[in-house]
Chain A
Amino acid sequence: MQTIDMDTTALRDLNAALQAQANETNQTAWEIVNPKGSHAIAVGLDAPIEVTVKGSTGYYCAGMNKQATVHVAGSAGPGVAENMMSGTVVIEGDASQYAGATGNGGTLIIKGNASSRCGISMKGIDIIVHGNVGHMSAFMAQSGNLVVCGDAGEALGDSIYEARLFVRGSVKSLGADCIEKEMRDEHISMLTELLARGGCDAKPEDFKRYGSARQLYNFNIDNAY
């Protein structure tokens, strides 16, 4: 286990050390202490390492992650796991706005609540939220899955493309062109796997599925150039 103390190590040095790990590194376990809400902790990683942040983080923690598992033993500020490509990010507490934004792949697990714009413009990431999500979540979501074990705020899935949204609790309102859809067997099995991956004991049968009605201007082929 490598331990990096942010009271004595500069952020750039911390990230450079983590980014320097190769695929076959034998230094696979890292611990970051005294994060104190700092920005951009453990960003741009590209190796199968496990990083645990002992405390809460500021903006953009674990952004652009590839392969790595980043565990935040606290809450995360805005833009956690933004543009993640692969790997896993786990937030023990709450996540601030636009968690998992534009994520291409990997898994983001938020054990508390997520704030507004969770999964905005997601492009293949799977996001599993144990609590609630705020307004405008999954805005323009293109692909991937957003699982919400609690409630969703206003305008869920506004202008959504092909992402799948699963919500167990209430949805305050659906955004433009987002509708409730049938839960077929394939969705139950997909959700069963997502819930297991996210460490949730919720029953897939308790969820409703939401997705695109494909009625907006851009879905009409006659509007193509």
Chain B
Amino acid sequence: MCGIVGLFLKDRSLEPQLGAMLTDMLITMTDRGPDSAGIAIYGEDDATRSKITVQSETPDTSFATLEDDLRTALGAQVAVTRKDTHAVLKIPRGQIAPARAALAQIDPALRVMSSGDTIEIYKEVGLPKDVASRFDLRSMSGTHGIGHTRMATESLVTTMGAHPFNTGPDQCLVHNGSLSNHNRLRRKLQREGIVIETENDTEVGAAYLTWRMQNGASLGEALQSSLDDLDGFFTFVVGTKDGFGVVRDPIACKPAVMAETDQYVAFGSEYRALVSLPGIDYARVWEPEPATVYFWSHDTTPTRKAA
């Protein structure tokens, strides 16, 4: 059992409240996943900047000289903002690959949580309310975000086993369920050169999507083919720079509820997670169909693609 929440804002006036709304939803899902919690939040799109979020077990020492070291390595202006065990590195737009290479040299123990233009991922072990308060998630603004509360089944309760998983630039995945063919698929993906760091099943799901997209698939196509290639139970919610998507396995025993109003599209593992949203009593509330890829985007009209 795990809990998933997601919120995609249509009404820009709600953007300053995104973090607060998502945090309330996340904490409601604590009893579905008290082990660890994480959130991916899509913030302001500054055309001159990209962002990398990193995590360290020893943030005091790791982050002390990181800004200077990265500036020297890249030969460009960078800004490092620390939040507890995480730090957001703002670098010139398009410099993600060289920056990641430089980070591996500067401090190999740093873990990259996310990279992209607008995404920031924060995740840690602990109760969702504690994780939310450590990162001050409540104060964050953004266009859309995804949160996850974890009750571990397939691998250890660690930071790297927490969700969301970053699957590519500005992309992330959260999962409720358990994949049963992850060991075999992990070996296959590793032979293809995909880096997988843990024994976690969801990381394999994320790596699978990354691999499919590196080979030319769109996110929608990658999600569609996951229905054929992933065995087990899953409700996936994926985030992209301009939207979010939902797909459930054909058995669909992992719960999912969605709500839509003129102001937002929201996802919750249970209706409880949605009850504090504005206008929920008048929202269209429904369960996403099994084996069906749904997507909402700021750039295009909503789509529902039947399997």
Q: Does B270 contact A (CB under 8 A)?
A: yes
> Are A135 and B290 in contact, CB atoms less than 8 angstroms apart?
yes
Which chain B residues lie closer than 8 Å to A56 at the CB level? 271, 285
> Are B252 and A37 in contact, CB atoms less than 8 angstroms apart?
no
Q: Does A96 contact B (CB under 8 A)?
A: yes
Q: Does B272 contact A (CB under 8 A)?
A: yes
Q: Does B130 contact A (CB under 8 A)?
A: no
Within 8 A of B (CB), among A42-94: 56, 58-59, 75, 77-78, 93-94
> Out of A37, A116, A135, which one reaches B272, CB within 8 Å?
A37
> Out of A37, A38, A58, A96, which one reaches B287, CB within 8 Å?
A96
Within 8 A of B (CB), among A178-222: none
> Are A97 and B253 in contact, CB atoms less than 8 angstroms apart?
yes
Residue count of chain A within 8 Å CB distance of chain B: 17
> Are B252 and A58 in contact, CB atoms less than 8 angstroms apart?
no
> Are B255 and A36 in contact, CB atoms less than 8 angstroms apart?
no
Q: Does A143 contact B (CB under 8 A)?
A: no
State the Cβ distance, A224 to closest chain B Cβ, in Å.
31
> Are A58 and B290 in contact, CB atoms less than 8 angstroms apart?
no
> Are B271 and A115 in contact, CB atoms less than 8 angstroms apart?
no
- Please name the residue on chain A nearest to B272 by beta carbon: A37
Which chain A residues lie closer than 8 Å to B286 at the CB level? 94
Q: Does B109 contact A (CB under 8 A)?
A: no
Q: Does B275 contact A (CB under 8 A)?
A: yes
Which chain A residues lie closer than 8 Å to B290 at the CB level? 116, 134-135
State the Cβ distance, A82 to closest chain B Cβ, in Å.
15
Within 8 A of A (CB), among B231-271: 250, 252-253, 255, 257, 270-271
> Out of B250, B273, B287, which one reaches A115, CB within 8 Å?
B287
State the Cβ distance, B255 to closest chain A Cβ, in Å.
6
Which chain B residues lie closer than 8 Å to A96 at the CB level? 255, 257, 287
> Are B270 and A77 in contact, CB atoms less than 8 angstroms apart?
yes
> Are A97 and B271 in contact, CB atoms less than 8 angstroms apart?
no
> Are B285 and A58 in contact, CB atoms less than 8 angstroms apart?
no
> Are B270 and A36 in contact, CB atoms less than 8 angstroms apart?
no
Which chain A residues lie closer than 8 Å to B272 at the CB level? 36-38, 58
Once A56-B285, A77-B270, A135-B290 are accepted as A-B contacts, the answer to whether A97 and B275 lie under 8 Å apart by CB is no
Which chain A residues lie closer than 8 Å to B287 at the CB level? 94, 96, 115
> Are A37 and B275 in contact, CB atoms less than 8 angstroms apart?
yes
Q: Which residue, B252, B270, B274, B287, has most C-beta atoms of chain A within 10 A?
A: B287
- Please name the residue on chain A nearest to B252 by beta carbon: A116
Q: Which residue, B253, B270, B271, has most C-beta atoms of chain A within 10 A?
A: B271
Taking beta carbons and an 8 Å cutoff, which residues of B are in contact with A?
A: 250, 252-253, 255, 257, 270-275, 285-287, 290
Q: What are 14 pairs between A and B in contact, CB < 8 Å?
A: A37-B273, A37-B275, A38-B272, A58-B271, A75-B271, A75-B285, A77-B255, A78-B255, A93-B285, A94-B286, A116-B252, A116-B253, A134-B252, A135-B250
Taking beta carbons and an 8 Å cutoff, which residues of A are in contact with B?
A: 36-38, 56, 58-59, 75, 77-78, 93-94, 96-97, 115-116, 134-135
Sample of 14 further A-B pairs with CB below 8 A, known A36-B275, A97-B252, A135-B252: A37-B271, A37-B273, A37-B275, A56-B271, A58-B271, A75-B285, A77-B270, A93-B285, A94-B285, A94-B287, A97-B253, A97-B255, A115-B287, A116-B290
